[in-house]
Structure 1
C-alpha cells in the first residue's frame, strides 16, 4: 500500500491561498480570452513542468527526453536559468558555468555538450533566438515552463511527486502548489515521479483513481536510479561503484529541496553519515567551503569522503578555493529516470508527436 507521509498544509495561511488562487485564475482567464497573447511555433515544443514549487525531478526527466531524442533530431533545451548571475538570453558553450546558466541548465550542457542549451526568462524571445541560429534545433524542450503561458507548447508533460500528491496539496502559501489541481487538464502526459521500486498494483489503482486523468491523457510512473559515483574533480580521483560507499564515513552536503531520497540510498551502504544542509539552489560561498573542509577534516577516520548531489556538483566544480586534499575526496551521485512500466509506450507517444509536428513544419516550408 501507499507509504507516503501526509501532506502538511499550513491551514492558517489558507485565506492567502484563496487570494493567490484568484490571481492565478484571472491570469489564466486573460490568456484563455486572448487578452494576454501566447505564441505557437512551427517545430515541436515540449514543456516539462509541474504544478508545485520544486522537487519533482524536471531536470532528470528533461535529460531522459534528450537521451531518447538526440540521435534522431537536433535537440534544444530552454529554461529560465534559475539563480544564474547573467541576464537576458544566454546560449551555452564550452566556457559556460553555472553562474551563466544556473545549475540545472549547466548540468544538462555538461552531460550533453552536443545539444543546444540556452536560458532566457522570456521563453518566447528565447525560442526565437534559438530558431535564428545558423544550425537551429528541430525540437525544443522547455524545462519548467508550465506557468509561462506566453508560449503555447505543442505537447505538455506534467510531473507530480509520489511523496507529495498534488490532489492532497494546497495553493501557495498554505501548500506548495503554483496552480490548482484542475490545471492537470492541460497536460498531454502526467508522470508520477520518485516512486518506490516496490509499488504495488493497488497503489497504481489508487493513484490513478485520485489523479482521475482524462481519456486523452497518459499516466506514467517513474523512479530515480543512482549511477556510479563520479569524482567532482576528475584529475584528482576516478569513478567508483556504489559499493565503494560500504562502511564509509560520509559527509553529505546538499543544497536541494529535500535530501530524503539520497539519505535513504546511503542507508543501504553505511550508517556513518553526517549532513550539512543548505537551501535549494544554494550558491556556495568561501565561508561555506571553509566550513565544509573543516568539518570533513575533523572526521577522524581515514575511510571517509564528501558526497554531494549532481546539482550541487555543478555549483562547486568551477570554484577555485577548494584545497587539493579536499578535491580528491569529493564525489557526486548522478541520477537517471527509470520507468516502472510502459516505458516503450512513453517513447512511442513522444516519437509520434514529434513526427507529426516535425513533418507539418516541413510541409509549411514547401
Structure 2
C-alpha cells in the first residue's frame, strides 16, 4: 500500500501546484474574497475524513448562544435539495443533510441553514443574526472569515502529510498558518507530556498560534430514534451500525463498556435504505434479542427517515451522543478565554 502511494506522488505534486496557484491568486486579490462586518467563525480541517468538526461546532453553539443571536451555516452534504434552505426540526436528512439536522434537533432555538454558496448563505443570515458558525469552510476562499479554527485529528499528525491521492491531505499543510486557533482533536483523555510534545513537533509551528487539545466525551446515556433515554446497561452486547468517516474511537469506546459482537460499516453520510435495515435486523436476530443496536448520532439522523419507519419497527436501535472537552492547558491558557478575546476584538 505504501509503495502504491509513492507511485501516486506525481499526482499529489500536481494537485499541490494547483492549490498553491489558487491560494496565491486569492492572497494577492486576483480572486475575490468577501468579508462581513459581523463575526463569522469557520471550522475546518486539512485532511479527508472526520476530525471532529460537528462536535466542535456544537461546543461553540453551547458556549456562544447565550451571548449572541447566532446561526450555523453548512453545505448540507448529501442533501437532495439545492440553494439556501433553513433547517426545521421536522426536516429529514435527505432534505437538509445529517449534520445540520443534528444541530437543529439538539439546539432548536438557533437558526440552522444550508447553502453550498457560503457567501450567499451569509448574506441571508447575517442581517438577522449577530454571529454565524460555518462547519467545514476553511477551504472556502471566496469567504474571508473573521475567525478560523483549524482541527487536526491527534492520530493523523503521526502520518504522512502528503496531499491526495498519495496522502490524506486535501489542502496544503502550510495553510495551518492561516488559522487563528489550532485544535488537536481526539487526543487521549489521559494525556501525557510526551503526547503533547510529539503532537507539537508534528505541527512544526514556526510562529505562535494558540494550540489546544480536546478529547471525546461520551454520554452515559443512549437514546432511541424517538428520543427516549436509557442508561447503558453494564456489560451490554452491541451490534454496531456506523457510517462516519473515522469510526475507530466510537467502536473502541463501545468495546470498553460492553461487548461488540458485530460491526456493520458504511461510508460517511451513507443514506440507509430498506435492504440495509433488513440486513441489520437479520444480524440482530442472529445475535439474540438482548443485543442492543447502537449507532452514532449522525447516523441516527439518516436512519430516522419516514421512508424507513415501518421496517424499523421493533428494532432496539439507540444512538450514543458525544461532546468534546478540552484539556487544561499549560500556562493556564484556556480555549474559551482565547475565543472570547478574539471575538471581542472582532466586535470592535
TM-score bin, normalised by smaller chain: over 0.9
2:124 to 119, 123, 129: 129
Q: Residues 80-229 of structure 1: matches in 2 within 5 Å?
A: 80-132=75-127, 136-165=128-157, 168-229=160-221
The C-alpha deviation readout for 1:296-352, integer Å capped at 9, x for no partner, is 1222x3321110111100111123434477555110010000111239721111112
Mind listing any 5+ residue stretches in structure 1 that lack a counterpart? 1-6, 361-366
CA distance in 1, matches of 2:249, 2:320: 12
Q: Cα distance 1:8–1:140, how it changes in 2: closer, same or farther (>3 A)?
A: farther
Tell me if structure 2 keeps the 8 A contact 1:8–1:175: no
- Which residue number in structure 2 is paired with residue 3 of structure 1? none
CA distance in 1, matches of 2:312, 2:21: 56
The answer as to 2:301 corresponding to 1:314 is yes
- Which residue number in structure 1 is paired with residue 243 of structure 2? 255
Tell me if structure 1 keeps the 8 A contact 2:326–2:335: no
The C-alpha deviation readout for 1:208-255, integer Å capped at 9, x for no partner, is 1331335441000000011133333337xx31223x1x3333110111
- Which residue number in structure 1 is paired with residue 35 of structure 2? 40
CA distance in 2, matches of 1:252, 1:43: 43
Question: If the length of structure 2 is used for normalisation, what is the TM-score?
Answer: 0.93
1:264 to 238, 252, 261: 252
CA distance in 1, matches of 2:260, 2:16: 45
Question: If the length of structure 1 is used for normalisation, what is the TM-score?
Answer: 0.89
DSSP-derived class of the 1:313 partner: helix
- Which residue number in structure 1 is paired with residue 334 of structure 2? 345
CA distance in 2, matches of 1:95, 1:102: 13
CA distance in 2, matches of 1:8, 1:303: 46
The C-alpha deviation readout for 1:72-122, integer Å capped at 9, x for no partner, is 111111111111111011111233221122111111111011111111110
CA distance in 2, matches of 1:327, 1:269: 24
DSSP-derived class of the 1:174 partner: coil
Q: Cα distance 1:287–1:324, how it changes in 2: closer, same or farther (>3 A)?
A: closer
Tell me if structure 1 keeps the 8 A contact 2:216–2:322: yes
- Which residue number in structure 2 is paired with residue 364 of structure 1? none
CA distance in 2, matches of 1:8, 1:50: 26
- Which residue number in structure 2 is paired with residue 363 of structure 1? none
Q: Cα distance 1:328–1:141, how it changes in 2: closer, same or farther (>3 A)?
A: same
CA distance in 2, matches of 1:207, 1:346: 17
CA RMSD of aligned residues (A): 2.1
Mind listing any 5+ residue stretches in structure 2 that lack a counterpart? none
- Which residue number in structure 2 is paired with residue 61 of structure 1? 56
CA distance in 2, matches of 1:296, 1:327: 11
CA distance in 2, matches of 1:272, 1:253: 11
1:294 to 282, 289, 313: 282
Tell me the CA shift for residue 174 of structure 1.
1.0
Q: Cα distance 1:327–1:17, how it changes in 2: closer, same or farther (>3 A)?
A: farther
CA distance in 1, matches of 2:39, 2:3: 38
> How many residues are treated as equivalent by the alignment?
346
- Which residue number in structure 1 is paired with residue 229 of structure 2? 239
Tell me if structure 2 keeps the 8 A contact 1:167–1:210: no
Tell which deviates more after alignment, 167-176 or 107-116. 167-176
Tell me the CA shift for residue 200 of structure 1.
0.8
Tell me if structure 2 keeps the 8 A contact 1:77–1:140: yes
Q: Cα distance 1:292–1:63, how it changes in 2: closer, same or farther (>3 A)?
A: same
CA distance in 2, matches of 1:357, 1:305: 47
CA distance in 1, matches of 2:102, 2:225: 15
- Which residue number in structure 2 is paired with residue 280 of structure 1? 268
CA distance in 2, matches of 1:93, 1:348: 32
Tell me if structure 2 keeps the 8 A contact 1:75–1:141: yes
